[in-house]
């Protein structure tokens, strides 16, 4: 199995397990957290959420590329 397939499978498993564990512990999930931060969804709040998510996704992808480069050495 390729590294990408293992990564995608791990993310899917993590999302399903984590959501159940978070709900069981009473910790808000990401959608509940964004709702708490921004309130009812409207155009401006959606823009804030997108602007918040873009750097987070960029950092995650950057870290994955760095780890991939180090594992080749």
Q: Model confidence over 28-71: pLDDT tens digits?
A: 777 777 777 777 777 777 777 778 888 888 888 888 887 666 66
Q: How high is the pLDDT of residue 72? A: 54
Burial of 38 (0-12, 13-18, 19+ CB in 10 A): middle
Are 29 and 22 contacting, i.e. CB atoms less than 8 angstroms apart? Answer: yes
Are 45 and 39 contacting, i.e. CB atoms less than 8 angstroms apart? Answer: yes
Q: What is the model's pTM?
A: 0.42
Q: How high is the pLDDT of residue 70? A: 64
């Amino acid at each position: 199995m390729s590294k990408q397939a293992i990564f995608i499978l791990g993310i899917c498993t993590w999302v399903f397990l984590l959501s159940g564990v978070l709900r069981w512990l009473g910790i808000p999930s990401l959608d509940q957290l964004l709702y708490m931060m921004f309130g009812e969804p409207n155009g401006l709040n959606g823009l804030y959420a997108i602007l918040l998510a873009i750097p987070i996704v960029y950092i995650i992808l950057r870290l994955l590329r760095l780890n991939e480069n180090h594992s080749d050495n």
